[in-house]
């Protein structure tokens, strides 16, 4: 049962009966700590902040901004339960959260210090300064009487005393404000109020005008005054070894999560007193607010407390005079040794940093205002971790200098788990002595991190590059100099590159091949550490998902692949490449007979289609390959699950199996490879007739009892053209309708035009067509369309194939819950296949671009490679594709037009197949091959085909482009005779000669 407390309108003065709500500084659900300002109210005297002295969460209903609320009536509520954003309508809340009013923008409060363990309140005896007076660090501003004695109240911040100040004789609870310090004399509260003993405004007065000769005060790095709260009943921390600390300092240290071991003591004989502890956690709000600000148009929303904390710390970091030093370190040996020793690379790097630091202890020191150095021996390193909500959390791995690696690994595993859900205790994130930030996982080639007050150095680790992994230290020049850091990095390099002495030997550095990717030495895997069910889950078991899962499994990563089909292979195996090419193979055998007679073979010109056998053969290929794939996947220890995967959050996937209950698995990283189904545009009758089978797509064409006698195809892309020719060879009459002026828009111009000319001899192609309606029943369909001129016709056919493209459908993946952004229908990724969520990758058809099986598979390997920590990229300019038409069209790399669009001065040479000896022999003389080269470098950047056997010839082109071969290399290569491959050598020599001749002119 949740406990609720009412936040009531406080009575600021005896005359105050009501107040108006001006702002809410927190929203329902926000965490509230004791002393937080939750709202601002206007009273008859001034605008005041409402400070709440009850920790919990703000809950509604909140009084509306602008509402007038009577003194004592509820403004809102505090609940002790997170997520409890509103109390029930009928609930009567008896308990009240203690509130206090402080003037709006009052400055830094001077709170009643707890000067002894038993002290709960103090009586103001004197004010040693008056509102408006300048205050220096260390000044005594007041004296208070405690249960023990009269003691001085010392502050540790420069500025000016500002009202309201607690009345002399008033009793102020420990932790409550007695007065305020502002950074500028002009901000001192000159309409100050004096608070009476019962916390009410006693009178309003003008503060003393400050002397004109007082120097302008520009506040510099400050620490807060002794702001000590009595919040919580946390037991005091242990006495630090060999050091003295006052009981109160230990208690405050426990509350604030301060590690006493690293603190310098300012008490007698170096005893650590509460003030030292408070100084260790400087409040930076004041620093941030006193810096020059630029007003931007618009209504700013209030920052969350986390955002505020980061903002203040970052602003405070501006006070650090920093410099950067970078060294490239080969972390291959460390990576394998860490793996062999079952410790994470993060822990191994932290230990290496600590070992090197033993020789350069200054790296672990800190500057302390004013003019002090805290010489720390405890290696408590903050290590940045991505939380589940996408933010950064920096948990601290404590005692690295003394703990063995295995113990550190245990600490780290538990710490990371809590860090991801932001459930860290203050001692687990406060007061690091050094910080490590690894953004290598995000692929950055170099970056610097920002140290905040309290540390002298922060280490930024970027992605692995050709020269190794850049380690950049940003150091505080008050503590370190360039040589210190350079020598430290040199030692760190030696420690990391030769881990045998401290970490034990590991295996040889792993090497990864990822399609067009380039890889270097073994790097740090960006798979977030944690106690996941699976370090990586792959959603989708097509070519993209399967290749990714296999590469990861091959490298020892435990991976689960969920696929909503019984066997892997995806569209390619079950509805795409494989079945269509099985049909094409039968169709080829029919078509090839046309050449038999001219070569002297008679009697083969009346081949007969045995549809039942065609289908049997096709299904045999598919099921055999499906079974082979599943067996191989399982053999590689991929955990293959059948079911539909959808995201619950950035580390949880829900799987709905075909049978049984849905369940969830947690994961470190995920790869989305869910493909793209056929897209049917809203043409009247198109979607409506899918169910009957009168209209089919590439997903549903695989159940034909017989080939249609007449086939209407809507769409003249690659799939439409392949299907048109297959069915033509099976004896079907085909009509192809295309909305655009040209079919095969995605194919290189000249190749496409030549292919279209061949095609139009076999089938009817209508371009610029408007499809008005599709109607009928399977076997008796009507395709009503108008041509370019607007003349309407009706084509009677058995079925209509909608070959109108493919479009990713991510609507059921819950991508919004994990921060994965879309680009149109496709998932947005960078060249590493990383989505906008750092731990989620996407590959294949679902990311758009070339929707081809080998593209998906390459991207799958690129994602795997990046997840293994190698810097891999998919390079579309080296990709390729074959259209299984007759003759076959094919491309590798860029066309001249594409190259020119990229600013490359490209040239091409082409040769017709008709001059090739082998082509003449086999009667396959239709088409051409083109070679595209970069004029400046002579590199071959594209090869284009229209030729029979392109599916085999293209491999040579792929090697030329992928291997960045030059025309000279190809010209010199020896190709066997008589084969069509001779054309490559011919083309290279021809182009070289041309370039030579034109260069001479």
Q: Which residues are catalytic?
A: 477
Q: Which stretch binds ligand FAD (CB under 6 A): 420-428, 497-505, 765-773, 851-859?
A: 851-859
Cβ-based nearer residue to ligand FAD, 189 or 883? 883
Cβ-based nearer residue to ligand FAD, 100 or 879? 879
How far, in whole angstroms, is CA 484 from its chain's centroid? 35
* Min CB(276)–ligand FAD separation in Å: 56
**Residue 539 binds to ligand FAD (criterion: CB under 6 A):** yes
Q: Who contacts 215 (Cβ-Cβ below 8 Å, separation ≥6)?
A: none
Detail the DSSP E strand segments found in 730-769.
Answer: 733-737, 764-766
**Which residues sit opposite 777 in a β-bridge?**
780
Q: Who contacts 852 (Cβ-Cβ below 8 Å, separation ≥6)?
A: 879, 881
Convert residues 635-654 into a mask of x (bound to ligand FAD by CB under 6 A) and - (unbound): ---------xxx--------
* Min CB(708)–ligand FAD separation in Å: 16
The C-alpha atoms of residue 963 and residue 959 are separated, in whole angstroms, by: 5
Residue of the chain from 8, 336, 698, 754 that contacts ligand FAD (CB under 6 A): 698
Q: Who contacts 221 (Cβ-Cβ below 8 Å, separation ≥6)?
A: 282, 287, 316, 319, 369, 453
Q: What angle do CA 691, 720, 894 make, to 5 degrees?
A: 135
Residue of the chain from 115, 856, 889, 971 that contacts ligand FAD (CB under 6 A): 856
**Residue 538 binds to ligand FAD (criterion: CB under 6 A):** no
CA nearest neighbour of 36 among 25, 21, 51 = 51
Cβ-based nearer residue to ligand FAD, 356 or 640? 640
* Min CB(712)–ligand FAD separation in Å: 17
Measured N-to-C along each axis, helices 577-596 and 611-635 cross at an angle, to the nearest 10 degrees, of: 140
Token digits for 609?
């289609």
**Residue 449 binds to ligand FAD (criterion: CB under 6 A):** no
* Min CB(932)–ligand FAD separation in Å: 21
Q: Which stretch binds ligand FAD (CB under 6 A): 127-135, 668-676, 708-716, 911-919?
A: 668-676
Cβ-based nearer residue to ligand FAD, 396 or 573? 573
Cβ-based nearer residue to ligand FAD, 176 or 550? 550
Measured N-to-C along each axis, helices 543-554 and 611-635 cross at an angle, to the nearest 10 degrees, of: 30
**Residue 135 binds to ligand FAD (criterion: CB under 6 A):** no
* Min CB(541)–ligand FAD separation in Å: 5
Of 222-241, binders to ligand FAD (CB under 6 A) are none
Long-range contacts of 307-314 (CB under 8 A, 24+ apart): 312/283, 312/284, 312/285, 312/287, 312/288, 313/284, 313/452, 313/453, 314/450, 314/452
**Residue 562 binds to ligand FAD (criterion: CB under 6 A):** yes
Backbone angles phi, psi at 618, to 5 degrees: -55, -50
Residue with tokens 């020719």: 725
Cβ-based nearer residue to ligand FAD, 348 or 800? 800
Residue of the chain from 395, 451, 542, 668 that contacts ligand FAD (CB under 6 A): 542
**Residue 570 binds to ligand FAD (criterion: CB under 6 A):** yes
**Residue 853 binds to ligand FAD (criterion: CB under 6 A):** yes
* Min CB(670)–ligand FAD separation in Å: 11
Number of residues that bind ligand FAD (CB under 6 A): 36
Q: Who contacts 570 (Cβ-Cβ below 8 Å, separation ≥6)?
A: 540, 541, 542, 543, 544, 545, 546, 563, 576, 673, 675, 856
Cβ-based nearer residue to ligand FAD, 113 or 720? 720
Backbone angles phi, psi at 574, to 5 degrees: -100, -25
**Residue 159 binds to ligand FAD (criterion: CB under 6 A):** no
Are the C-beta atoms of residues 397 and 412 closer than 8 Å to each other?
A: yes
User: Distance of CA 174 to CAs 111, 112, 164, 907, Å?
Assistant: 7, 5, 17, 82
Residue of the chain from 675, 685, 720, 887 that contacts ligand FAD (CB under 6 A): 675
The C-alpha atoms of residue 636 and residue 649 are separated, in whole angstroms, by: 28
742 class by beta-carbon count within 10 Å (0-12 exposed, 13-18 middle, 19+ buried): middle
Of 376-415, binders to ligand FAD (CB under 6 A) are none
Residue of the chain from 380, 571, 926, 986 that contacts ligand FAD (CB under 6 A): 571
How far, in whole angstroms, is CA 292 from its chain's centroid? 33
Residue of the chain from 121, 565, 749, 762 that contacts ligand FAD (CB under 6 A): 565
H/E stretch holding 289 reads helix 285-290
Q: Which stretch binds ligand FAD (CB under 6 A): 61-69, 213-221, 290-298, 534-542?
A: 534-542
Cβ-based nearer residue to ligand FAD, 161 or 696? 696
Of 706-745, binders to ligand FAD (CB under 6 A) are 719
CA nearest neighbour of 66 among 39, 46, 45, 88 = 39
Residue of the chain from 39, 207, 256, 577 that contacts ligand FAD (CB under 6 A): 577
Cβ-based nearer residue to ligand FAD, 131 or 712? 712
**Which residues sit opposite 460 in a β-bridge?**
437, 472
**Residue 572 binds to ligand FAD (criterion: CB under 6 A):** yes
Q: Which stretch binds ligand FAD (CB under 6 A): 109-117, 444-452, 493-501, 574-582?
A: 574-582
Cβ-based nearer residue to ligand FAD, 787 or 876? 876
Residue of the chain from 103, 282, 475, 544 that contacts ligand FAD (CB under 6 A): 544
Token digits for 820?
């994965």
Convert residues 868-907 into a mask of x (bound to ligand FAD by CB under 6 A) and - (unbound): ----------------x-----------------------
What is the length of the chain?
1001
The C-alpha atoms of residue 755 and residue 885 are separated, in whole angstroms, by: 8
**Which residues sit opposite 473 in a β-bridge?**
325, 459
* Min CB(572)–ligand FAD separation in Å: 3
Cβ-based nearer residue to ligand FAD, 804 or 839? 804
* Min CB(237)–ligand FAD separation in Å: 50
**Residue 536 binds to ligand FAD (criterion: CB under 6 A):** no
Cβ-based nearer residue to ligand FAD, 45 or 832? 832
**Residue 551 binds to ligand FAD (criterion: CB under 6 A):** no
**Residue 563 binds to ligand FAD (criterion: CB under 6 A):** yes
Residue of the chain from 526, 535, 545, 887 that contacts ligand FAD (CB under 6 A): 545
Cis status of the peptide bond prior to 90, with omega within 30 of 0? no
The C-alpha atoms of residue 747 and residue 840 are separated, in whole angstroms, by: 32
Are the C-beta atoms of residues 514 and 551 closer than 8 Å to each other?
A: yes
- Binding positions for ligand FAD, rule: CB under 6 A: 539-545, 562-565, 570-572, 575-577, 580, 644-646, 673-675, 698, 719, 813, 844-846, 851-854, 856, 884
């Amino acid at each position: 049962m949740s406990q609720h407390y009412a936040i009531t309108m406080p009575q600021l003065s005896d005359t105050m009966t009501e107040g108006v709500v001006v702002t809410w500084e927190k929203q329902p659900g926000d965490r509230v700590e004791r002393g937080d300002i939750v709202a601002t109210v206007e009273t008859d005297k001034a605008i005041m902040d409402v400070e709440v002295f009850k920790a919990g969460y703000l809950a509604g209903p909140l009084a509306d901004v602008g509402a007038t609320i009577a003194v004592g009536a509820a403004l809102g509520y505090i609940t002790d339960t997170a997520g409890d954003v509103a109390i029930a309508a009928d609930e009567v809340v008896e308990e009240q959260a203690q509130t206090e009013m402080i003037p709006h923008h009052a400055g830094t409060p001077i709170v009643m210090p707890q000067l002894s363990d038993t002290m709960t309140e103090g009586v103001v005896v004197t004010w040693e300064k008056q509102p408006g007076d300048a205050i220096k660090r260390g000044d005594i501003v007041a004296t208070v009487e405690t249960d023990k004695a009269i003691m001085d109240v010392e502050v540790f911040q420069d500025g000016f005393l500002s009202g309201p100040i607690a009345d002399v004789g008033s009793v102020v609870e420990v932790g409550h404000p007695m007065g305020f310090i502002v950074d500028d004399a002009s901000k001192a509260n000159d309409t100050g109020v004096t608070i009476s003993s019962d916390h009410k405004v006693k009178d309003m007065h003008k503060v003393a005008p400050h002397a004109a000769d007082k120097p302008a005060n520009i506040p510099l790095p400050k620490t807060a005054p002794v702001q000590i709260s009595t919040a919580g009943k946390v037991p005091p921390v242990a006495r630090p070894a060999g050091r003295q600390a006052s009981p109160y300092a230990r208690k405050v240290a426990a509350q604030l999560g301060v590690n006493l071991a690293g603190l310098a003591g300012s008490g007698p004989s170096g005893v650590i007193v509460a003030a030292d502890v408070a100084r260790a956690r400087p409040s930076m709000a004041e620093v941030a607010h006193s810096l020059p600000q630029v007003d931007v148009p618009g209504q700013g929303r209030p920052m969350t407390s986390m955002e505020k904390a980061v903002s203040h710390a970052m602003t405070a970091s501006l006070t650090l005079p920093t410099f950067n030093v970078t060294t490239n370190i080969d972390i291959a040996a460390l990576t394998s040794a860490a793996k062999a020793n079952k410790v994470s690379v993060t822990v191994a790097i932290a230990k290496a940093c600590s070992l090197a630091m033993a020789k350069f202890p200054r790296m672990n020191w800190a500057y302390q205002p004013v003019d002090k150095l805290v010489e720390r021996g405890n290696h408590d390193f903050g290590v940045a971790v991505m939380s589940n909500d996408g933010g950064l959390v920096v948990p601290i791995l404590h005692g690295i200098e003394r703990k063995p690696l295995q113990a550190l690994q245990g600490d780290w595993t538990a710490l990371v788990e809590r860090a991801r859900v932001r459930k860290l205790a203050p001692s687990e994130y406060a007061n690091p002595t050094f910080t490590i930030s690894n953004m290598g996982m995000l692929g950055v080639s170099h970056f610097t991190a920002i140290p905040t007050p309290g540390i002298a150095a922060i280490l930024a680790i970027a992605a692995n590059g050709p020269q190794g992994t850049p380690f950049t230290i940003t150091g505080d020049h008050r503590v370190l100099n360039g040589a210190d850091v350079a020598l430290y990095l040199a030692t760190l390099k030696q420690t990391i590159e030769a881990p045998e002495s401290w970490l034990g030997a590991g295996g040889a550095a792993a090497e990864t091949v990822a399609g067009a990717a380039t890889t270097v030495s073994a790097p740090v895997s960006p798979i977030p550490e944690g106690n996941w069910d699976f370090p990586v889950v792959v959603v989708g078991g097509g070519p993209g998902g399967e290749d990714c899962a296999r590469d990861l499994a091959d490298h020892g990563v435990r991976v689960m692949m969920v696929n909503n089909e019984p066997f892997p292979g995806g569209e390619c195996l079950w509805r795409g490449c494989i079945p269509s090419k099985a049909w094409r193979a039968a169709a080829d055998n029919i078509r090839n007979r046309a050449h038999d007679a001219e070569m002297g073979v008679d009697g083969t010109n009346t081949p007969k289609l045995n549809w039942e056998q065609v289908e049997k053969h096709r299904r045999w290929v598919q099921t055999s390959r499906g079974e082979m794939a599943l067996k191989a996947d399982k053999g590689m220890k991929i955990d293959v699950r059948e079911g539909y995967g959808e995201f619950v959050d950035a580390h949880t996937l829900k799987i709905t199996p075909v049978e049984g209950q849905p369940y969830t698995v947690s994961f470190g990283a995920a790869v989305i490879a869910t493909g793209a189904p056929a897209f049917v545009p809203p043409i009247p009758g198109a979607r409506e007739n899918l169910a009957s089978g009168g209209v089919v797509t590439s997903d549903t064409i695989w159940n034909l009892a017989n080939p249609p006698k007449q086939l209407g195809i809507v769409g003249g892309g690659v799939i439409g053209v392949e299907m048109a020719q297959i069915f033509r060879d099976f004896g079907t009459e085909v009509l192809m309708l295309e909305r655009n002026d040209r079919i095969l828009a995605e194919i290189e111009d000249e190749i496409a035009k030549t292919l279209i000319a061949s095609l139009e001899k076999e089938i009817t192609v209508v371009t610029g067509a408007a499809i008005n309606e599709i109607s009928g029943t399977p076997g008796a369909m009507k395709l009503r369309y108008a041509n370019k001129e607007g003349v309407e016709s009706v084509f009677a056919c058995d079925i209509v194939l909608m070959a109108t493209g493919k479009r990713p459908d991510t609507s059921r993946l819950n991508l919004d819950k994990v921060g994965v952004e879309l680009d149109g229908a496709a998932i947005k990724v960078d060249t590493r296949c990383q989505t906008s969520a750092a731990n989620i990758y996407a590959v294949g058809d679902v990311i758009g671009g070339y929707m081809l099986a080998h593209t998906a598979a390459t991207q799958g390997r690129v994602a795997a490679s990046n997840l293994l920590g190698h810097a891999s990229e998919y390079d579309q300019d080296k990709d390729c594709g074959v259209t299984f038409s007759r003759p076959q069209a094919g491309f590798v790399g860029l066309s001249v037009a594409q190259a020119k669009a990229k600013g490359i001065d490209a040239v091409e040479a082409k040769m017709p197949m008709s001059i090739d000896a082998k082509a003449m022999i086999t009667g396959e003389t239709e088409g051409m091959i083109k070679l595209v080269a970069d004029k400046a470098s002579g590199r071959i950047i594209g090869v284009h085909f229209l030729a029979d056997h392109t599916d085999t010839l293209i491999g040579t082109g792929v090697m030329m482009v992928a291997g960045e071969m030059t025309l000279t290399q190809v010209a010199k290569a020896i190709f066997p005779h008589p084969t069509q491959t001779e054309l490559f050598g011919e083309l290279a020599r021809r182009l070289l000669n041309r370039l030579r001749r034109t260069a001479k002119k």
